[in-house]
Each structure stands twice: as C-alpha cells, then as structure tokens.
Amino acid sequence: MKQWIGRIGGGGLAALAAVMLAGGTIAYRLLDDPAPAAEPATPADPLAELERKANADPSNAGAWQELGFAYFERGRFAEAAEAYRRATDADPDSAVLWSSLGEALVMASERDPMPSAASEAFRKATAIDPADPRARYFRAVEKDLGGDHEGAIADWLALLSDTPEGAPWEDDLKRTIEQVGKIQSIDVAQRITAATAGRPARLPDVMPAIPGPTQEQLAAAAKIPPSQQREMAEDMVASLATRLESEPADVDGWIMLMRSYQTLGRTGEARGALNQATAANPGQKARLEQAAQSLGIS
C-alpha cells in the first residue's frame, strides 16, 4: 500500500534545496542533506536547531511544521507525526497541517494502512479546505482499502483533473490510478487522458516567474555555516516583505514571498502574504491564487 503514497501538497515544495530571494544576490539552503536517523543530533546539526526552536516557542505552528517535515524526510515518521500534532494544536485551522499529520501517521503505522487517527486528520483537513490535495488523495486511499475501488479511482481522477500540470504529486497520482486499475481490472487509460485534457496549465504559467538559484549561488550558499543559513534566510525574507510594503504592485515579489514563507514553514504568514497581495492587486487575484495553490497554501 505505502508504495502508492506520493508525498503531495506543500511539503514537496519545501524540499527545495535552495531558494532565490529578493535582489537575486544569493541563495540559501533550508536544510542540509538528511543525516542518518541513527546519528545523534549535535548542536551543529540543523535538526537540533529546529528542535530547539520548536520547543522554545510551543505556540509557533510554523516551527513545529518545519520540524515535522525534517523528521519526515529522515524517515522518522512517528516523531514527524508528533511534531505535526503540535503544529495542529497551535494552528487548528490549517488544512495543510492536518493533512501532513495524517500522512505522517500513515507512514508511521507498522500494520494498519489507515489508522483511525490519520483518517480523522484527513477529514479535518478536507472540512477546512475541500481542495487540499493530500487529504483528497488519502481519503480516496481509505475508500480503496474499504473495497470501494471504483469510488477511489473516481476520486483520484477528480483530483487529477484539478491538479496543475507539473505539480510535484502529479506523476505519483497517475501511477496510483494505473496500479489500482490494473490490480482491480478497471480500465483507466482513457479516463486519465480525459482527466488531464481540460486542465489549465497553471504551474508553467506561475512558476517561471519565481526565479531560482544559479549553480554559483548554490555554491556560495553552501559555504555559509549551517548555523548562519537560517538566520540569513529569515533576514532576506524580512527584507523582501519590507520592500513589498512600498512596492505592493510587484506580483512576482509577492509570489516569491509566499514561496519563501512556505519553505520556511511559516504557513500562516504565507496565507497572510496572499491576502495582502490580492488586496493590493485585485486584477491579479487569479494568478496569485493559482500560485498559492501550487505552493500548497490553503
């Protein structure tokens, strides 16, 4: 079952190795390469710093989200689930946090492919945001596990029809539909084609406007001590936010700010940036909302 599960939603974008921020002068890495799980954390370990930050400010949902993602990437799913649980305690109105919690609970489970706590987390996510792609995916998984294979495939196809072309979960979603169709002798080829035929190509429209780091900038960022990378990233995001106060018509800048907040695990501020951007640029609301959706901001 777990081989079907793609890491979809906002979390995939947060795995970017580096983000180019305001001015195009330097890039930064959010996290170093994942360390082996058995290796103890040290004060120089980025994971230790994430743990320190979350425990120092228990009401900071973004800090717990970032820690949960770091645990998840290291395969420490039970610890990821606990971190995401703390994040939902701090921000119970975030669909992304609830669906992240559900996914971590699924991955942490040794025997039950859909623990009741995970199912409840996905239900809460869709109650907050019916469009949350990760929650929609796993609720269809639950149907499949319950024997409603046609219903599950129909739900996955509906999700595929809403999935922006090039979204990080697109290939995993198609693979899931194909594999379940094959196992259950349900013909899905034409239905996949139909689901993808009318989709707006939203990611190609939005993402090229978000500049990325060059190899030289990545190399420069790699030379910065890990302890300073986070501080630099925060400073650069703050500078971008300040600049947008005086230049609110810079739509690309707002998209960059949303992406940067999301990468840093500051989901609430990413949503706030979206609200500010649309208020300042009502004629660009559709583009900004498409960008937000592609970044996993609900």
Q: What is the pLDDT of residues 109-150, one digit of tens each?
A: 988 999 999 999 999 999 999 988 999 999 999 999 999 999
Residue 199 and residue 233 share a domain: no
CA angle 29, 217, 54 (to 5 degrees): 15
CB burial class (10 A; 0-12, 13-18, 19+) of residue 282? exposed
How far is residue 258's CA from residue 197's CA, in Å, rounded to a whole number? Answer: 29
Amino acid code (one letter) for 104: A
Residue 288 and residue 241 share a domain: yes
Mean per-residue pLDDT, 196-204: 63
**Residue 168 C-beta-side C-alpha neighbours within 13 Å:** 18
The contacts of residue 145 (CB under 8 Å, 6+ apart) are 1, 113, 114
Please give the residue range of the domain that contains residue 118: 2-20+29-203
Determine the pLDDT at residue 292. 81
* pTM confidence score: 0.58
Per-residue pLDDT at 247 exceeds 50: yes
Backbone angles phi, psi at 43, to 5 degrees: -55, -25
Boundary residue ending a domain (203, 218, 251): 203
Determine the pLDDT at residue 220. 47
Amino acid code (one letter) for 19: V
Read off the tokens for 13: 């974008």
In a domain, 211, yes or no: no
Total number of domains constituting the chain: 2
CATH number at residue 282: 1.25.40
The contacts of residue 166 (CB under 8 Å, 6+ apart) are 201, 203, 204, 207
How far is residue 212's CA from residue 218's CA, in Å, rounded to a whole number? Answer: 10
